[in-house]
Amino acid sequence: MSTLTDAAPAPRAGGGIGGSVRDSLVVAKRNLIRMTRIPEMVIFGLIQPIMFVVLFSYVFGGSVNIGGTTDAGAYREFLMAGIFAQTVTFATAGAGAGIADDMHKGLIDRFRSLPMARGAVLTGRTLADLVQTTLTVVVLAIVALLVGWRIHNGLPKMLGAFALLLLLGYAFSWIGALIGLTVRTPEAATSGGLIWLFPVTFISNAFVNTSGMTPWLRHIAEWNPFSATVQACRKLFGNPGVVDSGAWPMQHPVWASLAWSLLIIVVFRTLAVRKYRSATA
């Protein structure tokens, strides 16, 4: 009678793309169930953007020149595209912290022992975060309507704008995934996920017109992926603040937003999946 000395390797997942999609949806469902059991995660995620809307609208409204006027209502309409974009990108920190927490608790190692696609763990996590971000954006849109924000270009363009916002949020969640796999603790992932987001969101056209910036800073802001999505949303919503500029992303913001988001997904998904394999090998 022989003694088993080495554990048999876990069977590899099959099914190609179909199997990978199925595994990703299973992981996404697991994360969504977890979110429902910790409702404070969703509640706190809703409170922050609502505070930004109210504070920016009533503190800066009336003091910022938008389209030749300092009318508070004009600034609220100008502001909302930036707040929407900031909200979907700030979800990056939560995505990174969640993955870092799973790594810290050894859950990722347990997933690795299962016969599932390697990229499914990260894809499922980012999809679950996308669902939570969608809920946040819906609530935020209702609050924005209450403070005076309006849509002027019809339903199809409005849906297109929100689709661009969610695509940008999904793209940035892969940056958060890479950060979560790189650091050692959830706290470090949260800090690391926010440090780089502040310059990205504030060196942009989100809260002020870039025309008032120094030339070199304006150039950075106009080629910022975040700015492209904000510009595209203002254009699709019909909100004020679409400033003429010679920069290609500002002239073609919808295409620039799509291109930036898809490029970020391709690059950072590749890096995150590679890091996941090496971190749990």
Mean pLDDT (whole number) for 100-122? 74
Mean pLDDT (whole number) for 260-265? 96
More confident residue, 184 or 281: 184
What integer pLDDT is reported at residue 191 of this predicted model? 80
Alpha helices, H only, the chain: 16-37, 39-59, 72-105, 107-112, 120-146, 155-182, 186-195, 197-202, 215-222, 225-237, 248-251, 253-279
pTM confidence score: 0.85
What pLDDT digit, counting tens, does each position of 113-150 carry?
Answer: 677 777 788 888 889 889 989 988 998 999 888 888 88
Beta bridge partners of 66: 69
CA distance 172 to 224: 13
Closest-CA residue to 100 (of 270, 272, 281): 272
Mean pLDDT (whole number) for 95-106? 77
Q: In 10 A of CB 129, how many CB atoms?
A: 29
Mean pLDDT (whole number) for 208-237? 92
Closest-CA residue to 257 (of 169, 144, 154): 169
What pLDDT digit, counting tens, does each position of 46-93 carry?
Answer: 787 888 888 877 776 666 666 655 566 677 888 889 999 999 998 888
Mean pLDDT across the chain: 82
What integer pLDDT is reported at residue 69 of this predicted model? 57
Is the pLDDT confidence value at 263 over 90? yes
More confident residue, 14 or 263: 263
Residue 56 φ/ψ region, left for φ over 0, alpha for ψ in the -120 to 50 degree band, beta for the rest: alpha
Is the pLDDT confidence value at 200 over 90? yes
| Residue type for position 108 | I
Closest-CA residue to 173 (of 31, 20, 78): 31
Mean pLDDT (whole number) for 14-20? 68
Q: How far apart, in Å, are the Cα atoms of 196 and each of 73, 130, 137, 201, 203?
A: 31, 20, 22, 9, 11
Residue 123 φ/ψ region, left for φ over 0, alpha for ψ in the -120 to 50 degree band, beta for the rest: alpha
Percent of the chain surpassing pLDDT 70: 85
Is the pLDDT confidence value at 199 over 70? yes
Is the pLDDT confidence value at 257 over 70? yes
CA distance 279 to 133: 27
| Residue type for position 46 | L
Going by pLDDT thresholds of 50, 70 and 90, the confidence category of residue 32 is confident
What integer pLDDT is reported at residue 228 of this predicted model? 95
CA distance 159 to 154: 9
What integer pLDDT is reported at residue 224 of this predicted model? 95
What integer pLDDT is reported at residue 64 of this predicted model? 64
Going by pLDDT thresholds of 50, 70 and 90, the confidence category of residue 7 is very low
Contacts of 1 (CB under 8 A, 6+ apart): none
What integer pLDDT is reported at residue 232 of this predicted model? 95
Percent of the chain surpassing pLDDT 90: 32
What integer pLDDT is reported at residue 17 of this predicted model? 76
Residue 151 phi, psi dihedral angles, 5° rounding: -110, 135
What integer pLDDT is reported at residue 193 of this predicted model? 77
What integer pLDDT is reported at residue 186 of this predicted model? 79
Q: In 10 A of CB 17, how many CB atoms?
A: 8
CB 68, CB 169: distance < 8 Å: no
What pLDDT digit, counting tens, does each position of 140-193 carry?
Answer: 999 888 888 889 898 999 999 999 999 999 999 999 889 988 887 878 887 887
